[in-house]
A and B are shown apart, each in its own frame.
Chain A
Amino acid sequence: MYKKSLSQQIYDARWCYLFILPCSILTGMFVLYPIGMSWYFSLLDWSGFTDDAKFIGFQNYVEAINDKFFWDAFYRSFIFMFGTVPVKIVLGFIIAVFLNNQVLKLSPFFRTIIFMPVVTAIAIIGIVMTFIFSPFNGPANKLLMATNLTSGPIDFLGNPDTVLPTVMGVYVWKWLGITMMYWLAALQTVPQDVYDAAKIDGAEGLKLWINIILPIVLPFAIVIILVEAVSALNVFPLIETMTAGGPFFSSEVMEVYIFRTAFITDAGTMPRLGYACAAGVFWGVAVLFITALQGFWMRKIRRI
């Protein structure tokens, strides 16, 4: 059989190109173009609302690297990630193991309940949680005081020391249902004979889990960790609605920092889209780097 020329191949596939066109246009506009443009914007001194954009090279980057708030937000994003991902992975796994029991008649009900916060609008959760954790008779403080766990109300969201752990706790609560569903899917891939053998052996021991089940679900664990890690870096709506980065910037993660420099004007200052883009590019590259690192690690483990 002779090989067709490239132009012939392209002509033969004309329907294919027609079919991918609409989605390609949308993706180009709202995914690819923004990625490219934020590189360009990051080189401008530009407020975003006027046309007087000035090309200033890498000055925005230099400024970001020298800004204490930038690095604080940068580190805080990673604290957020390292503080929430392990908790979600472990807690989600334990819950999934229990709810994977067919005998547990209420299992579907529990799954529904645990998944419920996942479908609830994140901005609403942020706002409702400011009520729940309010130091003025908020339900969380009411409960703590009624059970004599604390003598006075705790200002969960008003104290720089408690604000980040509180937001992290809410984040885990909000998204744990997804982690649980991932794990339930993973447990379903364990071969039936392993389960049967486990049943015959009584399946009581923790040994069984560590020696047999865990190795089987490990490849899943790596994918789950990757997905969870990246989503833990995208927490803008929750933090913006719960604390807006406060008090005194103590819960300001990277995305809140970008939003603040880009769109929120303190008295007398102009928004700075160019600078915010530089921070965003820096951030995007960092996230991409982590993803690549984890992808590399993933392949290595899968090969073993």
Chain B
Amino acid sequence: MNKYLNFIAEKNQVRYLVISIVFLIFSFFWIYPLLWVLSASLKTDFEIWSGLGLIPDRLVWENFERAWIGANMGRYFFNTLIITVVSVIIVVVTTGMFGYVIGRYSFPGKKILIGILISTIFIPQGYTIIPVFDLLSDLNLSKNLLGLIIATAGASPVIYILLFAGYFSRIPVELEEAAKMDGAGFFRIFVLIMLPLTKPVVATVSILQVLHAWNDFLLPVVITLGNPDIRTLSVGVYAFKGEYFIDWSGMAAASVITILPIIVLFLFMQKYFVEGVQGAVKG
């Protein structure tokens, strides 16, 4: 149940109104940079720099055409989409299995395993990036999407494992025991009893990984340094800035192509975003 400390009394209309208005103004300024880039993507270069207004005189859809085709954002969009989707599947399956075992079973070596995992939580990405790059080169995976996909999937498993483990450990034992009586083995219990119960945590983990994979920058920028074909959207826009630095409206359109899908996803699945974020401190 939700708990609220309502120090804004319903009777006190003035205070209520003042707080609402202050927050409305604050929200507008807060969101202005995002609205600005959205409006810039539909303006001419001249208009972008001519005022603070957000409504374009005429909707210049050609900006998107230039970005999508000319600057190759179309290709980068599908690269990013593939990396995101495949890495989400890998992450959910592998960390889900891991979390299940950690959450419900004890076995020799479990404590050491958990200790090792926890100790890696705060390792900065800047610390591991060079060996990751080297490893992928040695495996001949640094020039194709596959390398980027598995590196993206393997980068930060700990939070996901803990989310899964916490969730599985709360499922009552009785369910499992009944199945054992019926002769179900380890694998069947997992698939028939446990998996159907995990939808909420799968959703949360998926959302977190989507956010990570879609928005990641350091790993893809390093992997794609010598190979523009496998760039992701973030890297593509960054390269765009270096290559066509005077095409402001095209760059704004490329930015919108990158951020809009995630914002739309967020608006529809807000609950899971919030749960994922809060799970990190609650746990």
Contact = CB atoms under 8 A, between A and B. Distances in A.
Contact of A31 (B30, B128, B251): B128
Contact of A204 (B7, B49, B131): B7
Contact of B27 (A113, A198, A199): A113
Interface in B81-115: 90, 93-95, 97-98, 100-102, 105, 107-108, 113
B24 A106 contact: yes
Given A181-B274, A283-B124, 19 more contacts: A19-B101, A20-B113, A29-B135, A29-B150, A31-B120, A36-B131, A41-B131, A102-B6, A103-B8, A104-B23, A120-B259, A123-B235, A127-B241, A128-B252, A132-B36, A181-B278, A185-B278, A230-B124, A234-B125
A220 interface: yes
A270 B3 CA distance: 59
B178 interface: no
By secondary structure, the B interface counts as helix
Contacts, number: 303
A59 interface: no
Contact of B5 (A131, A198, A280): A198
A203 B255 CA distance: 46
B173 interface: no
B134 A103 contact: no
Size band of the A side of the interface? Answer: 35 or more
Interface string A136-165: 110100110010000000000000000000
A236 B9 contact: no
A123 B234 contact: yes
Interface string A104-116: 1110011011111
A74 to B, nearest CB: 12
Main secondary structure of the interface of A (DSSP, over half): helix
Interface string B223-235: 0010000000111
Contacts of B266: 115-116, 119
